[in-house]
Amino acid sequence: MLMSTQANRYAHQLLDARACAQLIPPLSAREPLSVADGYDIARSILDTRIAQGEVQVGHKIGFTNRKIWSRYGVNAPIHMPVWTPVFDATVRYVEDNHAIQSLAGAMQPRLGPEIVFRLAKAPARNASLEAIAECIDWMAHAIEIVTCPFPDWKFDEADAIAAFGLHGALLIGEPKSISGASRRNLAEVLANASVSLSCGDELRSAGFGSDVWGSPVHALWELNRMLSEQPQFEPLAAGEIVATGTWADALPVAPGQTWTTAFSGVSLPGLTVSFV
């Protein structure tokens, strides 16, 4: 277990690395770190960012896609979802589902297609899947830019948690309100939907909603469960957004590229993002 002073030291090292766009060795290369240690560092980062005037607007869940677990983790594959706070500084709502996004300062950027939910009300800590679905106000397609301060994307689970959950930026498309009838079937509808990801005219990747912890709604339920076991963090709240995890492996992205997404099985528009 980390001493609070060491957690604060690691937190400021990560904040400085991000501010300077400078790679640093994984924290776990210096000493063994547990998942709890990673969240202690994340808590220190959260407090620091709020003190500096940033506003938390929600949560991002990472590693909900079981198909990519074996590709990450140095000492052991990452085998469970993680989460991180999301702040107003890294969230954009995209007009007409088209965006231009700068990659300036983004360390080793990659992108992944996601579903974002907005909560109309706070779920109970022990909420069932059905109760979680009833809390959703709207959903939207989003592209998340993930970044990594560790060379060659080599890290362990605690590193990923501490390093902002690898979150860089979230580009959110047109929200779609969800009716009461739709909420009852939402988990199944999204599980059976698919998305394709193309760069220019070339199809680069594809995935299913079922790859995201069974369904993005299941991922939201899992986040609520995790937070119920972490009293040092606030529970989910009405009005916040939750990014539920990539439907496909996050792919490297570079300035000059234009990426597009398209859905099948769910009536959500795709996104087109040009990077500069």
Determine the Cα–Cα distance for residues 3 and 44; give it in Å rounded to an integer.
12
Angle at CA of residue 116, ends 119 and 216, nearest 5°:
95
Determine the Cα–Cα distance for residues 149 and 14; give it in Å rounded to an integer.
8
Reduce the DSSP state of residue 164 to 3 states and report it.
Answer: helix
Determine the Cα–Cα distance for residues 257 and 122; give it in Å rounded to an integer.
39
pLDDT digit string, tens, across residues 239-256: 999 999 999 989 999 999
pLDDT on residue 102: 98
pTM of the model: 0.96
- Four-way CATH pick for 4-275: 3.30.230.10, 3.40.50.12780, 3.90.850.10, 3.80.30.10: 3.90.850.10
- In the chain, what are the domain boundaries? 4-275
> What Cα–Cα distance (Å) separates residue 18 from each residue in 21, 170, 202?
5, 16, 31
Nearest to 211 by CA among 246, 167, 160: 246
pLDDT on residue 76: 85
Determine the Cα–Cα distance for residues 174 and 157; give it in Å rounded to an integer.
32
pLDDT digit string, tens, across residues 137-192: 999 999 999 999 999 999 999 999 999 999 999 999 999 999 888 899 999 999 99
